[in-house]
Structure 1
Amino acid sequence: MNLSCSENQTSIKEFILLGFENIKQEKSFLFILFLTMYTICLLGNLLIIAVVLLNQALHTPMYFFLGNLSFLDVCYISVTVPKMLADICVESPSISFMGCAAQMYFLVTLVGTEGFLLASMALDRFFAICRPLSYTQFMNKWTCLQMATISWICGLLNASLHTTLTFHLSYCRTNGISHFFCDIPPLLSISCSDTSVNEVALFTAGVFVGLSPFCFTLVSYAFILHAILSNQQKRQGHKAISTCVSHLAVVILFYGSGIFTYFRPTSSYSLERDQLVGVLYNILTPTLNPLIYSLRNKEVKLGMRRLMTFHYVPSLVR
Structure 2
Amino acid sequence: MPGRPDDMARRFERDRTRLRAVAYRILGSLSEADDALQEAWLRADRADTSEVAHPSAWLTTVVARVCPNLLRARDSRREEPLDDGDRGRPAVTGTGTATAIGTATVADPAEEAQLADEVGIALLIVLATLGPAERLAFVLHDMFDVPFDDIAAMLDKTPAATCRLASRARRRVRGVPAPDADLPRRRRAVDAYLAVTRGGDFDALVALLHPDVVLHADAAVVPTPEPVAVSGVEPVVRGAMASMARARSTGAVLVDGRVGLAMAENGRLRVVLRFDFAADGRITGIDVVAEPARLNELDITGIR
Q: Is TM > 0.5 for Structure 1 vs Structure 2?
A: no
Q: Which has the higher strand share?
A: 2
Q: Which has the higher helix share?
A: 1
> TM-score scaled by structure 2?
0.28
